């Protein structure tokens, strides 16, 4: 059951409000801790990936690796996942709690050791090639740090909810270098409320975390794309493709919900990930683009370096690979896989559109598709808009069709499916309770 909102101990409106000093100190320390954790976890993932797949990037290394490397590396990741899940279950008390679930049901309280262990395991197996996102680990670490600081500062339940969301958003901001998008993601997607007193702590935590992470991580956009020209063809395409992206997103969310409900228990936690990742390793011999979180194939789609046939094949296989990993109990994020799904869908629809109205670079359609699917799967249109602009370091050149695609995709998705990929495990009644709990009057 969702906990009731804490009416008497809300977010300090000013620096002179009761408890403001302790709350803002916790926000600052959360930003610092999330930045350090994101840098450490990102470097660990890069080391694991380089050790298992020596080369300039995962896709290039996997494309040139022998068939047996694909098999034994992914089988090893499956065995590691199974052993890790069993060890975490025996050495820690309580079950693993998703961040969204923790915020909505438990006022942001998380089992620290279990969550950090899952984050570490996620980094290792994603670095080995599991088809899940790398942002899950820094989000979990940031949330755990925020929860611990909430205990030390004796924060109210409502303050803890916000701080844990800020910590998760700050971890994501630091990992990808997206301070504004990460802050908006924390509030719009994880907390479900956008209000001034909530935005300021989120912005501060994400800004500090990103600045701290730049000590060890590069300050550069994740995706390098050219300045695509704007045309009426692109705007018209966005009107047509947006609803399609919304429908595809609904199917993807339902697949994620099914996979989450099908996670193995007992001794199957050892067998299921080994079989699933072993199968992924075999298929990746022919399609190395399936390995990892999808960053490399997204970059290629954004710059029109993927053939239409391969785009179509990966559009079918990549989400299945992600759901296969998730359903077998492999820990990891869904942010970059969702972005990759949108890029592949946008690329396919863009090539089809070029038969009707030629002259537009197909890579631009991939960028717009990525934003549309991300917004529709997370139910976070504002944060998705900003995240795509920060990730690509581009904005005005395609802002109008970007808005059209994101809005239409999100409206269609929310009309059909009330859940996002982050609350896919909730029932319809629980989602209704969650939406009632996210009452803006608390601001």
Pair 274, 82: CB distance under 8 Å: yes
Q: What is the pLDDT of residue 433?
A: 63
Q: How far apart are CA 179 and CA 202, in angstroms?
A: 9
Angle in degrees, CA 136, 47, 260, rounded to 5? 25
Q: Is pLDDT at 96 greater than 70 in this prediction?
A: no
Pair 114, 91: CB distance under 8 Å: no
**Intra-chain end-to-end CA distance of the chain, in Å:** 22
Which residues sit opposite 133 in a β-bridge?
333
Q: Write the burial class of residue 174 (CB in 10 Å: 0-12 exposed, 13-18 middle, 19+ buried).
A: buried
The pair of structure tokens assigned to 23 is: 């709350």
Burial letters for 198-211: b for 16+ Cβ neighbours within 10 Å, e otherwise?
bbbbbbbbbbbbbb
Q: How far apart are CA 252 and CA 34, in angstroms?
A: 30
More confident residue, 272 or 13: 272
The pair of structure tokens assigned to 295 is: 């960053």
Q: How far apart are CA 293 and CA 276, in angstroms?
A: 16
CA dihedral 28, 34, 39, 42 (to 10 degrees): -160
Average pLDDT over every residue of 106-117: 86
Q: What is the pLDDT of residue 17?
A: 78
Q: Is pLDDT at 7 greater than 50 in this prediction?
A: no
Neighbours of 9 (CB within 10 A): 16
For 317-334, what is each residue's pLDDT tens digit?
999 999 999 999 999 999
Helix (H, G, I), strand (E, B) or coil at 222: coil
Average pLDDT over every residue of 402-406: 96
Q: How far apart are CA 390 and CA 254, in angstroms?
A: 28
Please name each of the domains of the chain with its CATH number: 20-213 (1.10.3080.10), 232-442 (1.10.3080.10)
For 210-235, what is each residue's pLDDT tens digit?
999 999 998 889 999 988 888 899 99
The pair of structure tokens assigned to 250 is: 């609904």
Pair 293, 357: CB distance under 8 Å: no
Please provide the average confidence, as pLDDT, over all residues in the chain. Answer: 89
More confident residue, 21 or 425: 21
Helix (H, G, I), strand (E, B) or coil at 333: strand
- Map tokens 């679930």 to a residue: 101
Q: Which of 273, 277, 344 is nearest to 307 (CA)?
A: 344
Backbone φ, ψ for residue 111 (5° rounding) = -70, 110
What secondary structure letter does DSSP report for 425? T
């Amino acid at each position: 059951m969702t906990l009731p909102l804490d009416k008497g101990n809300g977010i300090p409106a000013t620096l002179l409000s009761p408890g403001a000093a302790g709350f803002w100190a916790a926000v600052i320390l959360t930003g610092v801790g999330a930045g350090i954790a994101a840098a450490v976890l990102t470097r660990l993932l890069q080391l694991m990936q380089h050790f298992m797949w020596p080369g300039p990037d995962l896709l290039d290394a996997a494309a040139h690796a022998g068939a047996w490397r694909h098999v034994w590396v992914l089988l090893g990741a499956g065995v590691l996942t199974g052993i890790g899940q069993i060890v975490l279950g025996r050495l820690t008390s309580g079950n693993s709690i998703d961040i969204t679930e923790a915020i909505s049901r438990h006022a942001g309280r998380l089992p620290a050791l279990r969550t950090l262990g899952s984050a570490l395991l996620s980094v290792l197996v994603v670095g080995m090639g599991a088809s899940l996102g790398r942002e899950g680990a820094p989000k979990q670490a940031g949330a755990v740090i925020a929860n611990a600081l909430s205990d030390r500062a004796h924060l109210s339940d409502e303050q803890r909810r916000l701080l844990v969301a800020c910590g998760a958003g700050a971890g994501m901001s630091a990992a990808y270098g997206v301070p504004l998008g990460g802050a908006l993601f924390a509030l719009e997607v994880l907390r479900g409320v956008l209000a001034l007193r909530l935005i300021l702590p989120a912005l501060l935590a994400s800004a500090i975390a990103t600045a701290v992470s730049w000590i060890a991580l590069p300050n550069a956009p994740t995706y390098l794309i050219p300045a695509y020209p704007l045309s009426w063809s692109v705007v018209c395409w966005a009107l047509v493709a947006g609803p399609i992206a919304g429908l595809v997103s609904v199917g993807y969310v339902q697949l994620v919900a099914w996979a989450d409900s099908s996670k193995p228990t007992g001794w199957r936690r050892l067998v299921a990930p080994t079989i699933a990742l072993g199968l992924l390793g075999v298929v990746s011999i022919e399609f190395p683009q399936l390995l990892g979180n999808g960053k490399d194939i997204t970059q290629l789609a954004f710059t029109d370096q993927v053939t239409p046939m391969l785009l179509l094949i990966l559009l079918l296989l990549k989400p299945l690979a992600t759901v296969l990993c998730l359903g077998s109990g492999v820990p990891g994020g869904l942010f970059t896989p969702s972005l990759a799904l949108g890029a592949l869908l946008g690329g396919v629809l863009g090539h089809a559109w070029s038969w009707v109205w030629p002259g537009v670079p197909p890579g631009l359609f991939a960028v717009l598709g990525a934003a549309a699917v991300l917004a529709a799967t997370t139910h976070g249109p504002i944060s998705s808009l900003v995240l795509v602009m920060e990730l690509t370091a581009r904005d005005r050149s395609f802002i109008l069709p970007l808005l059209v695609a994101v809005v239409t995709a999100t409206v269609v998705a929310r009309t059909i499916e009330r859940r996002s990929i982050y609350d896919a495990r909730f029932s319809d009644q629980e989602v209704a309770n969650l939406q009632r709990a996210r009452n803006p009057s608390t601001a």
